[in-house]
Amino acid sequence: MSKCIVVLSEEIANKIAAGEVVERPASIVKELAENSIDAGATDIRVELEKGGCQSIKVVDNGSGIESEDVALVFERHATSKIYKFEDIYQVASFGFRGEAMPSIASIARVELLTRKKEDLAGTKAVVEAGTIKEISPAGCPMGTQIFVNNIFANIPARKKFLKKETTEQSLCLDAITRVALAHPHIRFTALVNGREVFAAPVANNLSERIAAVMGMDFSANCIPLHNEKEQISLTGFISHPEYTKSNSKNIFLFVNKRFVRDNSLTHAVLSAYRQVIQPRRYPAVVLFIELPAQDVDVNVHPAKLEVRFKDSRGLYELISNTVAQNLAEAKNVKGSFIYRLTPRGKTITSDITRQTTNLQGQYEGLFSRDKLRAAIADDLQKRSVEEKVHIAEHDVDEAKEEKIFSNFKYIGQFANTYIVFDDNNDLVLLDQHAAHERIILERLKKTAGQKILSQQLLIPEIVSLSPGQISLFSDYIDLLNQIGLEVEIFGRDALAVKALPAILSHSQAKEVISDIADKLSEQSPLSSWQEKKEKIFAALACRAAIKANYVLSLEEVEVLCRDLDDTPFNLTCPHGRPIRIRFSLSEIERMFKRK
């Protein structure tokens, strides 16, 4: 059957174009906030209902819109930023394509109120599914208010792909955070269901704004940097090598104050950290790149998240070399970083040493030489009569089971990281961290639904997080309490940690919470509750497991091998890396040219 070529109707074309600009509620928040910035606003308020899935309202005190231009706001390719083709390569504003408002209006109901300072009355416009329903005079303060509701009502296929309200809310708050970082002279406020969850007051400088938005933990562990090369200026803050995250979501890159995602620039940052942080850990970085508008093409991506540089190689080298140099120079004689951001009106003090009670849990002493044997004996005594009977009934079956790791002949430890065994003339190397990580993960999964022993903190520890991360935690409070991590939301940008699981008795609460927050923020359209729960377990297991460069005694090796034999999936760690590697005698002999 032959297919005819047809010209799409304007309605369908607008909906397709909207899909390029408006992916989810966070896209609407970003576009409207950037329009407010272009209008010269110094105060921007964002109000979300049901995480932005029900409605979004953005209010600013900018210059407003001429009454006769209000209708043009909703016309495609209508803009006040470009008048001739060459202007595209000199763009210094954010919303210059003229697609944001018509795209939003085509998939929702939009109500606009605007008034210029010199006008006595403002103008109201109502648009539904791309059609203007009303334009009339109205009373309103100076600036612009845009209320968006019925989002994706006329595109149900798009609406059903939205995630949970808390997830969409987190993404909206992330969008506000990124915009707020780059504009310290603007006051930003965000409300969710009428409750204020984010506030960034006007800051005197960039460091004040970053401290207010990124939180105390980052501000107490960051290094300032600045460098210039020809017409390129690089300014920002990078984190202490010991202050790391489990993903790269805390790397914020801005080009001419526009947040961008660029794999090359991200790689430039990570290459400088390669030799100073642990594998699979990432720094927290906020970098601002300023360069002539004609040297960067911001017209590559409809949402303007990707850009193209005239001299990408030179920019890569500038970032990599500057970050590496500042990491090398930022330490004092004792090896601790000395720079700290100080937000206005706040004083950052050194961390208070966490005080803990005596631990009485089943995991205590697992790798403590002084208490190892006592812990094993105590564990055996705690077994119930039913469990002992169960074990007796299955003695024969257990005797038949092959104890792989326990039967290895222990040779020693290499690099304080790999345990070396002899298994019938095969050489076996075992990664102690990966092995212990798998053991702990399977224990956590096995005890899911049961209350895990925890260690109460004498003084609750307050951990700063971004508003987006706080919103994600709200769904997991009960689960965290079940696994012994007792937390509660403390204000709009912090969690109070009251207890830690026994297996994490020697971990820092802020490191544990930070890892979990990073795992929860790793968005996947297919992530189920079970998958997210296992991500939390994996983060806890990684934090609790013995690390590389830890010397093990013979007794500790025996316990590790015994536990590994009783652990399912004991050939890989939770991240998929192998736990053991085997070299046969024939392979070794071939290496020495004996065969």
Pair 200, 264: CB distance under 8 Å? no
Bigger pLDDT: 330 vs 176 = 176
- What residue has token string 């991360």? 469
DSSP 8-state symbol, 99: -
Q: List all residues 6 or more positions away from 108 whose beta carbon is below 8 Å from its beta carbon.
A: 28, 148, 149, 150, 151, 152, 153
Report which secondary-structure segment, H or E, holds 515.
helix 509-520
pLDDT tens digit string along 212-229? 888 778 888 889 999 998
Q: What CA–CA distance (Å, rounded) separates 499 from 7?
A: 63
Domain spans of the chain, in order of start:
10-202, 207-329, 372-582
Distance of CA 15 to the CA centre of its chain: 31
Closest CA to 429 of 442, 439, 417, 441: 417
Strand-pair category, 251-255 with 494-501: unpaired
Q: What CA–CA distance (Å, rounded) separates 60 from 42?
A: 8
Q: What share of the chain is helix, strand, coil (3-state, %, to 5)?
A: 35, 25, 40
Q: What percent of the chain has pLDDT over 70?
A: 76
Pair 137, 76: CB distance under 8 Å? no
- For residues 359-380, average pLDDT: 38
Bigger pLDDT: 99 vs 201 = 201
Q: What CA–CA distance (Å, rounded) separates 559 from 574?
A: 20
The distance in angstroms from the start CA to the end CA of the chain is 67
Is a pLDDT exceeding 70 seen at residue 368? no
Q: What CA–CA distance (Å, rounded) separates 250 from 241?
A: 14
For the record, the structure tokens of 402 come out as 């092959």
- For residues 162-170, average pLDDT: 87
- What residue has token string 């991200």? 266
pLDDT tens digit string along 465-519? 888 888 878 778 887 887 788 888 887 788 888 888 877 767 778 888 888 887 7
For the record, the structure tokens of 184 come out as 């310290």
372-582 has the same fold as 10-202: no
If pLDDT is split at 50, 70 and 90, which confidence band does 357 have?
very low
For the record, the structure tokens of 337 come out as 């970083």
Bigger pLDDT: 398 vs 259 = 259
Axis-axis angle for helices 165-182, 25-38 (nearest 10) = 20
CATH of 372-582, one of 3.40.1050.10, 3.30.1370.100, 3.40.50.10540, 2.40.240.10: 3.30.1370.100
pLDDT for the residue 529: 66
Map residue 343 onto helix, strand or coil.
Answer: coil
Is a pLDDT exceeding 70 seen at residue 359? no
pLDDT for the residue 68: 87
Instruction: Kindly report the length of the chain.
Output: 595
If pLDDT is split at 50, 70 and 90, which confidence band does 386 have?
very low
How many alpha carbons fall within 13 Å on the CB side of residue 583? 12
For the record, the structure tokens of 244 come out as 């790391």
pLDDT for the residue 576: 75
For the beta carbon of residue 380, count every other beta carbon within 10 angstroms. 9
Q: What CA–CA distance (Å, rounded) separates 558 from 315?
A: 52
pLDDT tens digit string along 429-468? 999 999 998 888 888 877 766 667 778 888 888 888 888 8
Q: Phi first, then psi: what are they for 15, rounded to 5°?
A: -70, -40
pLDDT tens digit string along 261-308? 888 889 899 988 876 787 778 899 999 999 888 878 766 555 556 677
Q: List all residues 6 or more positions away from 249 whose beta carbon is below 8 Å from its beta carbon.
A: 518, 521, 522
Q: What CA–CA distance (Å, rounded) separates 165 from 121?
A: 37
Q: Domain 207-329 belongs to what topology? A: Ribosomal Protein S5; domain 2 (3.30.230)
Q: What CA–CA distance (Å, rounded) separates 49 from 480?
A: 26
pLDDT for the residue 79: 60
For the record, the structure tokens of 558 come out as 């025996």
Its CATH architecture, for the domain 10-202, is 2-Layer Sandwich (3.30)
Is a pLDDT exceeding 80 seen at residue 63? yes
pLDDT for the residue 269: 92
How does DSSP assign 298-342, residue by residue? --SSTTS---EETTHHHHHHHHHHHHHHHHHHSB-TTS-B-----
pLDDT tens digit string along 545-591? 888 888 888 888 888 988 888 888 888 888 778 899 999 888 888 88
pLDDT tens digit string along 575-588? 778 899 999 888 88
Highest mean predicted confidence (pLDDT) among 6-15, 333-342, 373-382, 528-537: 528-537
Return the exposure string of 91-102: e unless at least 16 CB atoms fall within 10 Å of the residue's CB, then b.
bebbbbbbbbbb
What is the pLDDT of the chain when averaged over all its residues? 78
Q: What CA–CA distance (Å, rounded) separates 288 from 286?
A: 7
Strands (E), 156-284: 187-192, 195-200, 222-229, 232-239, 244-245, 251-255, 258-260, 282-283
pLDDT tens digit string along 109-161? 999 999 998 988 999 999 998 888 999 999 899 999 999 999 988 887 777 77
How many alpha carbons fall within 13 Å on the CB side of residue 173? 30
Report which secondary-structure segment, H or E, holds 113.
strand 109-115
For the record, the structure tokens of 116 come out as 């210029």
- Cα diameter, the chain: 96
Amino acid at site 163: K
Between the CA of residue 398 and those of 389, 402, 447, 571, what are the distances in Å? 14, 8, 22, 20
How many alpha carbons fall within 13 Å on the CB side of residue 15? 17
Q: Phi first, then psi: what are they for 515, rounded to 5°?
A: -65, -45
Report which secondary-structure segment, H or E, holds 472.
helix 467-473
Pair 59, 223: CB distance under 8 Å? no
